[in-house]
A and B are shown apart, each in its own frame.
Chain A
Amino acid sequence: MMKVCDLPSPEIEWPTPAGKLRIRCGCTPDEIRGYTFDPQFGTYAQFRSLYTKRETLEKIADREGTNVVLALTEADHIIGFGVLDYPEPNERWTRLGPKRMMEVKAIEVCRDWRAAHIAKGILGMLLSHPLLEKMIVYMVGYSWTWDLDGTGKTAQEYRNLLLHLFSSHGFIEMQTNEPNICLKPENLFMARVGKKLSDEIIQEFKWLRFGVNP
């Protein structure tokens, strides 16, 4: 559905104090195969990276409509990634209709490169496709997936960091009775409603969030 060639620019430069990066969106499996993957995307005492192998990103990039964004050093080394994908078939969000909703399934920057606002660049590129204005993009923040050790933050501080990051891209915190999200009060659900969506769909999304059927 979404193609890189439809984008204004599939790649941007991202200067950081530690060197210049490229943030590239719509990465294909072949492209990803040509990059190296930072070993800091791994398993720690209290945190495990969402993807610990480059091959996983290759597989995701092979799915129709998925957008894999990578933050790359000048040596073509992956130090950050983001994934925009459709919800899983068993998730309630699919009930809004086919290809109406997409999820920011992952945003991660390896530990050495944090605090350079790279996640902001990755998120911007994940959302750069104009077709997203006809969709609802959402994110789910499960506190048990957060690297509290690596960031030295409490769950609430980390939550506020996510709120700030996603709010700056038009996401709004929304309430839902989705059981997994309700498991912990610090969990977070945010959504960005496309400007070209009809009021009817927006209303349906509201019912869906609370699992009611008027």
Chain B
Amino acid sequence: MRYPKECVLKECQEVVIRPLEGKDEPLLRRFFDEIPEENRWYMRYDVADSEVIKKWCEHIDSDTVESIIALCGDQIIGHCSLHVRGFGSTRHVGRFRIIIHPEFRLQRLGTWMTLDLIQLSMDKGLEILRTDLVVGPEDVAIDAVRKLDFVKRAEIKDYAKDSQGNRHNLAIMIKRLHRGWGDF
């Protein structure tokens, strides 16, 4: 992987994508502070808890998690994490989540970050990428990953609840990372 990576968004904002560093903790805290509660609700960790952010920034060299950020100037505008188990029956699988700052949504930043994660996963020798998304509230993300050849391998009915207690289906989106071409 070659970082930093430069991207230009739809409205010409210049963005740099690079791995999270320990010194980014205040910026990351500010980023998650500006993520609306209704988005944080669906995340795997409670990013409103400053201890969670601190732990992420202190364990950057972890073998099981890669954190990538997108910066516009000195503001973090996107964060994604790739989680691998490193052993056992699912060591070939990577799971990821991406969250984009509200002011930078629908600008293709999520797509650029997903492409970066796909590359990172291929470099790590992973064979499957997986992301679990809540049908309804996360439809834009479902549509975006579909356009990057993810397929819905399962949908678990009424699995997730929103903050009002309404139930939503959970879509398990999978992409296979091929190592070569077929003989056809």
A77 at the B interface (CB under 8 A): no
B180, CB-defined interface residue at 8 Å: yes
Among A148, A156, A210, A212, which residue has its beta carbon within 8 angstroms of that of B122?
A: A156
Closest chain A residue, CB of each to CB of B1: A173
Selected interface stretch from B5-13, B46-54, B56-64? B5-13
Please, which residues of chain B bring their CB within 8 A of the CB of A185?
115, 118-119, 122, 148, 177
Does A110 make an interface contact (CB < 8 A)?
Answer: no
Interface of B is mostly: loop
Measured CA separation A182–B118 after assembly (Å): 12
The reply on A165 being an interface residue by CB < 8 A is no
B178 within 8 A of A: yes
Q: Do the beta carbons of B8 and A209 come within 8 Å of each other?
A: yes
| Cα distance A155–B176 in the bound complex, in angstroms | 14
B179 at interface (Cβ–Cβ under 8 A)?
yes
Q: Nearest B residue to A144 by beta-carbon distance?
A: B181
- A62 CA to B38 CA, complexed, in Å: 63
**CB–CB A45/B183 < 8 A:** yes
CA distance in complex: A15, B11 (Å): 52
**Hey, which chain B residues are within 8 Å of A155, CB to CB?**
178-181
Task: Please classify how large the interface on chain B is, using the bins under 10, 10 to 19, 20 to 34, 35 or more.
Answer: 20 to 34
Interface string of A168-188 (1 = CB under 8 A from B): 000011110100001001100
Name A46's contact: one of B122, B125, B148, B183 (CB within 8 Å).
B183
Interface residues as binary, B96-111 with A (CB distance below 8 Å gives 1, 0 otherwise) = 0000000000001000
Also in contact, A173 and B2, with CB within 8 A (given A207-B8, A210-B7): yes
Contact status A172-B2, CB under 8 Å: yes
Number of A-B residue pairs at CB separation under 8 A: 53
- Known contacts: A155-B181, A163-B2, A173-B2. The answer to whether A186 contacts B12 by CB under 8 A is no
- Decide if A214 is an interface residue (CB 8 Å cutoff): yes
The CA of A156 and the CA of B10, in the complex, are separated in Å by: 29
Mark contacts of A192-214 with chain B using CB atoms, 8 A cut-off: 1 yes-contact digit, 0 otherwise.
00000000000000110110101
Q: Separation in Å of the B184 CB from the closest CB of chain A?
A: 10
- Measured in the bound complex, the distance between the Cα atoms of B148 and A124 in whole Å is 36
- Is the pair B123, A175 in contact by a Cβ cutoff of 8 Å? no
The residue of chain B having its C-beta at the shortest distance from the C-beta of A185 within the complex is B118
Choose from A173, A182, A206 the contact partner of B14 (Cβ within 8 Å). A206
Q: How far is the CB of B70 from chain A (nearest CB, A)?
A: 12
CA distance A207 to B115 in the complex (A): 19
Q: How far is the CA of A214 from the CA of B112 in the complex (A)?
A: 20
Q: Are B179 and A212 in contact (CB under 8 A)?
A: no
Interface check A154, CB cutoff 8 A:
yes
- Interface bits A119-146 vs B (CB < 8 Å: 1, else 0): 0000000000000000000000001100
Using CB atoms, name the residue of chain A closest to B116.
Answer: A175
30 residue pairs of the A-B complex, CB under 8 angstroms, read A45-B183, A46-B181, A46-B183, A144-B181, A148-B180, A148-B181, A154-B179, A155-B179, A155-B180, A155-B181, A156-B122, A156-B123, A156-B125, A163-B2, A167-B2, A173-B5, A175-B7, A175-B115, A185-B122, A185-B177, A186-B119, A186-B122, A206-B6, A206-B14, A207-B8, A210-B8, A210-B9, A212-B8, A212-B11, A212-B12
- Beyond A156-B123, A177-B108, A185-B148, 13 extra complex contacts between A and B, CB < 8 Å: A45-B183, A46-B183, A143-B181, A144-B181, A148-B180, A154-B179, A156-B122, A172-B2, A175-B5, A175-B6, A206-B14, A212-B8, A212-B12
10 A-B pairs with least C-beta separation: A210-B8, A154-B179, A185-B118, A214-B12, A156-B122, A173-B2, A148-B180, A212-B12, A175-B7, A175-B5
